[in-house]
């Protein structure tokens, strides 16, 4: 099977950050592979090891993103494509989806997988947009994948439990970070990653116009999360407390 896995370089969520004058200030030197994408890479590698095939990762980003790509190669991906940007652009989910759809429009593959969301925005929209633009059968929030000839069996986490879906290939799927525990590259993998092919494609070579790349959503400002109000403590006899709680649920919370 041929797997394409879309990955993204994101800020390390464990790095210190602060909000000043509505702007989010992060340590630009601490960039990592998006955790959801790492799970997508791991699952593609597991299926490749079981059924054979090839895993190629695709990343949109500045030259610095090559470090993130090398990590995916060190995990075991066979090759990579780096869609090179200046790094100064402000793209939203729609912008990324249009870039990826343009790149994949003439590619052959069985499974196109992405992390279900990225750690920097948590929007979770790019995968569905790519699937729509490419007219692919699609499943979200996958927590398990199985390959069977010309179809993919997806175990996904729904609102009320897990669901099993059967997708014909080619198809698209977004992966949860609850799917697996991504492997940590060993020294052999790290050394091998330096010899694996990484093709660079200039964004301008894809032929997208300015309107297609312009973000349609804008972040106005960042604010600190408001403090949570303290809970209410009840004292007295259990029967009296139960009546008081019931009355509050009825008159204030309006849930009875």
pTM of the model: 0.85
Which token pair is 37? Answer: 């994408």
pLDDT level of residue 256 (50, 70, 90 thresholds): low
% pLDDT > 90, the chain: 70
Compute the distance between CA of residue 256 and CA of residue 246 in angstroms, rounded to an integer: 8
> What's domain 2-213's architecture?
3-Layer(aba) Sandwich (3.40)
pLDDT of residue 149: 85
For residues 72-85, average pLDDT: 97
Per-residue pLDDT reduced to its tens digit, 24-44: 777 667 889 999 999 999 999
CA neighbours closer than 13 Å in the CB half-sphere of residue 245: 12
Q: For residue range 62-78, what is the model confidence (pLDDT) as tens digits?
A: 999 999 999 999 999 99
Beta pairing partners, 202: 84
Per-residue model confidence (pLDDT) at position 2: 96
Q: Which of 19-23, 104-108, 148-152, 163-167 has the lowest mean pLDDT?
A: 19-23
In sign, the C-alpha dihedral spanning 245, 250, 251, 254 is positive
Averaged pLDDT of the chain: 92
The confidence band for 253, taking pLDDT boundaries of 50, 70 and 90, is: low
For residues 178-192, average pLDDT? 95
Three-state DSSP class for residue 239:
helix
Comparing C-alpha atoms, which of 111, 112, 141 is closest to residue 125? 141
């Amino acid at each position: 099977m041929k797997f394409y896995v879309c990955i993204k370089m994101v800020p390390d969520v464990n790095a210190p950050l602060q909000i000043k004058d509505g702007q989010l200030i992060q340590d630009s030197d601490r960039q990592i592979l998006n955790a959801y994408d790492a799970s997508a890479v791991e699952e593609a590698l597991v299926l490749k090891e079981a059924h054979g095939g090839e895993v190629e990762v695709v990343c949109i980003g500045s030259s610095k993103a090559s470090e993130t790509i090398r990590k995916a190669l060190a995990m075991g991906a066979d090759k990579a494509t780096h869609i090179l940007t200046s790094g100064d652009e402000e793209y939203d989910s729609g912008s990324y989806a249009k870039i990826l759809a343009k790149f994949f429009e003439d590619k052959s593959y069985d499974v196109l997988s992405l992390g279900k969301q990225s750690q920097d925005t948590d929007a979770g929209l790019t995968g569905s947009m790519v699937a729509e633009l490419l007219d692919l059968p699609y499943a979200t929030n996958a927590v398990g994948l199985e390959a069977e000839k010309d179809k993919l069996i997806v175990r996904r986490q729904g609102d009320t439990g897990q669901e099993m879906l059967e997708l014909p290939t080619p198809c698209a799927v977004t992966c949860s970070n609850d799917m697996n525990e991504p492997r940590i590259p060993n020294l052999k993998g790290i050394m091998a990653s330096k010899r694996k092919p990484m093709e660079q494609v200039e964004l301008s070579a894809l032929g997208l116009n300015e309107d297609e790349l312009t973000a349609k959503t804008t972040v106005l400002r960042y604010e600190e999360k408001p403090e949570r109000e303290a809970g209410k403590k009840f004292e007295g006899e259990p029967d009296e407390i139960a009546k008081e709680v019931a009355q509050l649920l009825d008159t204030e919370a309006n849930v009875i």
